[in-house]
Chain A
Amino acid sequence: MSVQDRPAAGSGFDVTAAARMVATFGHNGALGCRFLEHGADWAELALDYREDLIGDEETGVLASGPIIALMDMATSMSVWIRRGAFRPQATLDLRIDYLRGAVPGRTVIGRGECYRLSRRVAFVRGQAHDGDPADPIAHVTGTFMMTDEA
């Protein structure tokens, strides 16, 4: 497969099955991440407000950690969707800007996009909001390494 080849969205990759895994397994399951929807190169997940995920007890604002975990998963899924396959990959780096605190009680929506896929590296970006996509709470960029390529 050449670098330019891009698999059709969802081909060979069962987004629904992956979403089920997201909702039930390990850290994402413990956080309660929910799959919302996807396109050819993006995925959207939701993280409901929970008191045990609070980072600042005085204000009730969610910790930043659950948001980076949400965005790690949303951007990971965008790579699998764009590749058209659930393949092993490792996060090389993830940078997140916390634009503002999420409003306590609101569900956080995270959208990850794979905007460049080469043979060994996937470049991703994404944003999170708590109701209005035009008023984001966080912006993320990152890179993943394909661990099944020589």
Chain B
Amino acid sequence: MVAPHVLPPYGRFLGITAEATDDGPLFVMPFTDAVVGRPHFVHGGALAGLLEIAAVGTVMAALADVPGASVKPINVTVDFMRGGRERDTYAAAIVSRLGNRIANVEAFAWQEDRSKPIASARMNLMVRRPAKEEG
């Protein structure tokens, strides 16, 4: 199992932590003042941020054996299904396709019940693989 890559400053701003599990990286965002939207609910932008961090982190974990690989977001479509309450929010992602240049990823966020997502995201990412050294 490959550990998720180090989270960027924005991930730390949201208070997100990541851990490696048998099913891939699992991301947790605690309920803090930095993520509140309307009172007592998680902000949609913070949920979108968590889903993007989960999508990127899961692709980076899948690219762990490619030295110097990096990704850039092309787009993201976020569906908001339930309000996020005053508790931890979890997120995980599935890499539907990992190509040479493009990765297609789906990410899900949930709170008490993984089968009841509060938001999901579909994301296209540009994958950069450094040219292999000749000889």
List residues of A whose CB falls within 8 A of some B CB: 25-28, 30-31, 51-57, 62-66, 68-70, 72-73, 88, 90-98, 101
Which residues on the B side are within 8 Å of A70 (C-beta)? 45
Contact of B9 with A54 in the complex, beta carbons under 8 Å = yes
Mark B1-32 against chain A: 1 for CB-CB distance below 8 A, else 0: 00000001111111000000000000000000
B127 to chain A, nearest CB (A): 14
Contact of B45 with A96 in the complex, beta carbons under 8 Å = no
Which residues on the B side are within 8 Å of A98 (C-beta)? 72-76
Pick the residue among A25, A27, A93, A95 that contacts B45 (CB under 8 A): A27
For the complex, what is the distance from the CA of A90 to the CA of B49, rounded to whole Å? 17
- Given A27-B34, A57-B9, answer yes or no on A94-B44 (Cβ-Cβ < 8 Å): yes
Mark B95-111 against chain A: 1 for CB-CB distance below 8 A, else 0: 00000000000000000
Pick the residue among A27, A55, A97, A101 that contacts B35 (CB under 8 A): A27
Residue of B53, B73, B79 contacting most chain A CB atoms (<10 Å): B73
